[in-house]
A and B are shown apart, each in its own frame.
Chain A
Amino acid sequence: MDAVFKALADASRRELLDRLRAENGLTLGQLCERLAKSGSPMTRQAVSKHLAILEEANLVAAVKRGREKLHYLNPVPIHEIAERWIGKFERSRLQALSDLKKDLEAHDE
């Protein structure tokens, strides 16, 4: 669990997770391309290092397909953390608050 929090404590790694949420199953090269195209480039070495930390924390799952290594967002550890501290009775209230927040923010625009 320490590994999950350490991995999430870095903005670049959260950025990589966001990329994979938008587009799952990317190679290292594709991730670098997407980052460069959107104006927030990261060196290949940096992406590779961050991916290793995310894999170590089990927030990214990697699958070999032929010669390629594809990276997938793995939210299971985050789900397990939520289950640990959020009981089933709090959940509906938190969901209601989260819905309210989204609703209010949507009307802000």
Chain B
Amino acid sequence: MTDAASFVPKTVYVTYIAAAPEQIWQALTDPAFTRHYFSGFAVDVEPRADGHFGLLYPDGRVHIAGRVLEWSPPRRFSCTWVVEGMQGFDELPECIVTYEIEQAGGSCKLTMTESHSWDVPEAILAGGRAGWPAILSSLKSLLETGNALAIAMAPPPDFIEAVARAVAEKPWLRSR
């Protein structure tokens, strides 16, 4: 079982959404929603702690695979992530992605935290940092206006190379 206490938040993004907690929860956990705002990926989650978690390409192939660490609707949803189906990526240690939904006046505060157990190079963190603000803005737009945003996503410079380097050197074995 993943020891969440040994993971440190490396990226934290917050957005305020004019919607009920239950609507935001559904948008995070229902593939009919994620397909629209999450670059076409369908979420596939077993709704319980220790259930399986995944993000699937439109053709059903697995992009992200993991386990549910916390399932507390409509407040906290936490799961592990491993990138599948890309050369070398599945050798990187899993990370933890946690969504937290809090009531804030008439709207809700949604916090996404990406936590890691090792000293992740900036060039790898940049991969998530390039995508999350667009995904969260698109989620907000979908819930507030009914339309997701068109997002063109490409890995930042040196991202693929940084992953290959980390897989070759395995720094997480040293940093324990």
Find out whether the CB atom of A72 lies under 8 angstroms from the CB atom of B12.
yes
Contacts of B137 in A (CB 8 A): 76, 79-80, 83
Find out whether the CB atom of A72 lies under 8 angstroms from the CB atom of B136.
no
Using a CB-CB cutoff of 8 Å, which residues 1-26 of chain B contact chain A? Answer: 8-16
Q: How far apart are A27's CB and chain B's nearest CB, in angstroms? A: 13
Q: Scoring A residues 52 to 66 as 1 if CB is less than 8 Å from chain B, else 0, what string do you get? A: 000000100101010
Q: Determine the distance from Cα of A83 to Cα of B150 in the docked complex, in whole angstroms.
A: 10
Contacts of B28 in A (CB 8 A): none
Query: How many interface residues does chain A have, given as a range?
Result: 10 to 19
Using a CB-CB cutoff of 8 Å, which residues 49-95 of chain A contact chain B? Answer: 58, 61, 63, 65, 70, 72, 74-80, 83, 88, 91
Q: Given A80-B140, A83-B149, verify A58-B14 contact (CB < 8 Å).
A: yes
Contacts of B10 in A (CB 8 A): 24-25
Task: Tell me whether B113 is interfacial, beta carbon within 8 Å.
Answer: yes
Q: Given A83-B141, A88-B150, verify A72-B15 contact (CB < 8 Å).
A: no
Find out whether the CB atom of B9 lies under 8 angstroms from the CB atom of A65.
yes
Q: Given A61-B111, A88-B150, verify A79-B133 contact (CB < 8 Å).
A: yes
Find out whether the CB atom of B133 lies under 8 angstroms from the CB atom of A63.
no
Find out whether the CB atom of A63 lies under 8 angstroms from the CB atom of B15.
no
Contacts of A80 in B (CB 8 A): 15, 137, 140
Find out whether the CB atom of A76 lies under 8 angstroms from the CB atom of B14.
yes
Find out whether the CB atom of A63 lies under 8 angstroms from the CB atom of B12.
yes
Find out whether the CB atom of B9 lies under 8 angstroms from the CB atom of A75.
no
Q: Determine the distance from Cα of A63 to Cα of B150 in the docked complex, in whole angstroms.
A: 30
Q: Which residue of B lies closest to A75 (CB)?
A: B133
Find out whether the CB atom of A76 lies under 8 angstroms from the CB atom of B136.
yes
Contacts of A91 in B (CB 8 A): 152
Please list the residues of chain B having a beta carbon within 8 angstroms of any beta carbon in chain A: 8-16, 111, 113, 125, 132-134, 136-137, 140-141, 149-150, 152
Q: List 6 A-B contacts (CB under 8 A).
A: A24-B10, A58-B14, A70-B9, A74-B12, A74-B13, A80-B137
- A-B residue pairs, 8 tightest by C-beta: A72-B12, A79-B133, A61-B12, A61-B14, A76-B15, A76-B133, A79-B137, A88-B150
